[in-house]
Structure 1
């Protein structure tokens, strides 16, 4: 199990946090998602989850993610 940190841009409220959390949580292999609105930090824990999958899920929520 690995934990990877990303920076998410474009979030402005708790609804944004909820949207990102929901999309990333649905990825196969993800066991935990933590999003911090103030810093834009996204921490994803899981097995066999690629950066591309996480970035695509964040994009589906309407935001952009890059590895921290």
Structure 2
């Protein structure tokens, strides 16, 4: 399953990497791609949407499904 979430506050490659690492730590995530230009992260796997948003927020960014 593929889920796309909106992530506000990404401004550089490091931000994208931080988001990707945070999301990869969520149980059930198999692949992540963050894109600062579209302000979105695309997640493949079977993770809970609330857990995805929480991981991004814990990394210091605003997120929504």
**TM-score under structure 2 length normalisation:** 0.93
Instruction: Report the Cα distance in structure 2 between the residues aligned to 1:65 and 1:44, rounded to whole angstroms.
Output: 13
Unaligned runs of 5+ in 1: none
Give the 4+ runs in structure 1 shifted more than 3 A: none
Aligned to 2:55: 57
Aligned to 2:27: 28
How many pairs does the alignment contain?
65
**TM-score under structure 1 length normalisation:** 0.90
Q: Give the Å deviation of 1:22.
A: 0.3
Residues 38-49 of structure 1 mapped to structure 2, 5 A cutoff: 38-47=37-46, 49=47
Q: Give the Å deviation of 1:28.
A: 1.1
Unaligned runs of 5+ in 2: none
